Amino acid sequence: MNRPESIQTEQSSSAAWWRRAVVYQVYIRSFADGDGDGTGDLAGLRARLDHLVELGIDAVWVNPWYPSPLADGGYDVVDHRDIHPDFGTLAGADALIAEVHDRGLRILIDLVPNHTSIEHPWFQAALGAGPGSPERQRYIFRNGRGPDGDEPPTNWRAVFGGSAWTRVDDGQWYLHIFDTSQPDLNWQHPEVRDEFDDIFRFWLDRGVDGFRIDVAHGMIKDLSFPDVAVDRLDERGQRTPDGSHPHWDRDELHVLIRRWRAVLDDYDDRMMVAEANVHPDRLPLYVRPGEYHQSFNFDLLKADWSADDFRSIIDGAASRAAAIGAASTWVLSNHDIVRHATRYGLPPGTDYERWLLDGPHEVLDAEAGARRARAAVMVTLALPGSAYIYQGDELGLPEVWDLPIEVLEDPTWERSNHTVKGRDGCRVPIPWAKDGPSFGFGPGPAWLAQPPIFGDLSVEAQDGDPSSTLNLYRTAISLRRDLFRRDEELEILDLGTDVLAFRRGSGATVVVNMGSAPLPAADLPADEIVLSSEPLIDTDLPPDTSIWFAPPA
Ligand code: NOJ
């Protein structure tokens, strides 16, 4: 497929586009429903591209859109070379790619190499063919332990809860690091490796600009199957500092990364970003020359609203990236975590998963959360590297924490024996209009009902209001081009314990008051204020507010 001129021209530019991009994440089920069946789809996305252009973003990342039983929201793929019928068709994807390019934007898609769906033809063939068959070699089947083999082969735990092994009718067990519906592929198998080379090419040939690689720290397992030390059994085991975990972040997986990178390098100007949930010291390994172009930095997802935390995360990530010539990525929210407008309204140290289920919900200060979320995006958009925005962030959407348990779809809810409510509350469909059965998401009700407050937060409600969160995002993204995109220099400034402040290579300064008292004007730079996250009543900087100062005249 020919790529449009506007895209080709920039390929020769020395600054790779993805190093400074603003990437907008589309959770396709919940973005916009074009055909009226209650589920978001490609038609809905195509119809709303102008919203993204107006926002000023550079690229769209679309969550998995493949045929799938949607047991894990589409991260359970049946066919990597097609589109889920609820979302559209391959022809619709081609049209979307072309329309995205026509608008001068780029498109990343989500690739899921660690596992497939149990409904994938390979897994169905493996079940049918029985123990010892070549079909079983493409997955990880093993006999169980104990005299009757009725204990799992190892003590490994699934991320969504329970054992990472499920037993099939003939007595063998298969490995699934996530849900039981997501069997792990055996990446030691040459057919698996070849298949994914081909899948990469399939989409590259169709014109996608890159990939977000799911569970980039998975794939390779220690096939001698040691048990995991008991104190590392929970998900924190993913973030060990030394690559010694039997199924997370193993050194051998870098061979795969290099192989995929070689495939991408056959094409002009494409990129891949790793979803590698690893120890911060291990992250640079993923973005060495010849490996990923970028890796998500998830540390801000876990940070409290605290200048100390933000400072040390930003300083650490930026210096690690600079040391190896990589570009950082900044993420405040995504489809896997409580939205940051809600996180920042909770007391420091809150365990979000526990809070969702058990509360106490009255501790939530939604107004402070919304204010802090606005201040926070003025941080991520001003840092060197690329900023990822999750759909609805630009509307200041909160987590829908009070979803009734009957509507929950996240497999976590069942797998955790109803102890973890899961991620549905950040996946509620986007409100486009003030009214209507799904606030403009589609002509009828949405697959997951939205709360009444979504009308006031809709695009329609915010569009013409100069003080809205939507217009703050639009203005900030536009100003970012001149103030923060031209270089990758960062100097952290000391303006006090509760203040996050830094200066960029352009000379522009960012100051965020993360404390509870106003910051006196005398402590602020004397430069011109170009943007603030809240209206400034006097010259002091109020709590929970960010300011961008222009470079000195
Ligand atoms: C990470 C994805 O972001 C998440 O949504 C999914 O459940 C797991 N990987 C498993 O694919």
Q: Is 191 a catalytic residue?
A: no
Question: Taking phi first (over 0 means left), then psi (-120 to 50 degrees means alpha), and beta for anything else, what does residue 127 get?
Answer: alpha
What span, in angstroms and rounded, lies between the C-alpha atoms of 316 and 314?
Answer: 5
Kindly name the residue from 41, 58, 179, 214 that is annotated as catalytic.
Answer: 214
- Report which of 292, 334, 239, 275 is spatially closest to residue 112, judged by C-alpha positions: 275
Q: 75 C-alpha to center of ligand 1: Å?
A: 6
Overall pTM > 0.75: yes
Q: What is the CATH number of domain 5-116+190-472?
A: 3.20.20.80
- The reply to whether 5-116+190-472 and 489-549 are identical in fold is no
Answer CATH for 489-549 from 2.60.40.1180, 3.40.50.10860, 3.40.50.11810, 2.70.180.20: 2.60.40.1180
State if residue 299 touches ligand 1 by the CB under 6 angstroms criterion.
no
State if residue 215 touches ligand 1 by the CB under 6 angstroms criterion.
yes
State if residue 178 touches ligand 1 by the CB under 6 angstroms criterion.
yes
State if residue 336 touches ligand 1 by the CB under 6 angstroms criterion.
yes
Q: Residue 239: what are its φ and ψ, rounded to 5°?
A: -105, 45
CA angle 279-396-547, nearest 5°?
80
State if residue 220 touches ligand 1 by the CB under 6 angstroms criterion.
no
- Considering only CA atoms, which residue is closest to atom 11 of ligand 1? 75
State if residue 214 touches ligand 1 by the CB under 6 angstroms criterion.
yes
Q: 159 C-alpha to center of ligand 1: Å?
A: 10
State if residue 410 touches ligand 1 by the CB under 6 angstroms criterion.
no
Q: 117 C-alpha to center of ligand 1: Å?
A: 13
Q: Is 214 a catalytic residue?
A: yes
Ligand 1 atom nearest residue 114's Cα:
11
Q: 215 C-alpha to center of ligand 1: Å?
A: 7
Question: Which CATH class, in words, describes the domain spanning 121-175?
Answer: alpha beta
- With a CB cutoff of 8 Å and minimum separation 6, the contacts of 58 are 17, 21, 22, 23, 105, 106
- Report which of 120, 125, 166, 160 is spatially closest to residue 142, judged by C-alpha positions: 166
Q: 340 C-alpha to center of ligand 1: Å?
A: 19
The per-residue pLDDT string of the chain (553 residues; one tens digit each, 9 = 90 and over) reads 444 444 433 333 336 999 999 999 999 999 999 999 999 999 999 999 999 999 999 999 999 999 999 999 999 999 999 999 999 999 999 999 999 999 999 999 999 999 999 999 999 999 999 999 999 999 999 999 999 999 999 999 999 989 999 999 999 999 999 999 999 999 999 999 999 999 999 999 999 999 999 999 999 999 898 998 877 766 555 677 888 899 999 999 999 999 999 999 999 999 999 999 998 889 999 999 999 999 998 889 989 999 999 999 999 988 888 888 888 999 999 999 999 999 999 999 999 999 999 999 999 999 999 999 999 999 999 999 999 999 999 999 999 999 999 999 999 999 899 999 999 999 999 999 999 999 999 999 999 999 999 999 999 999 999 999 999 999 999 999 999 998 889 999 999 999 999 999 999 999 999 999 999 999 999 999 999 999 998 889 999 999 999 999 8
Tokens encoding 546: 């960010």
Q: Among 110, 112, 214, which residue has the most ligand 1 atoms within 8 Å of its CB, making it the best to mutate?
A: 214
- Domains of the chain by residue range: 5-116+190-472, 121-175, 489-549
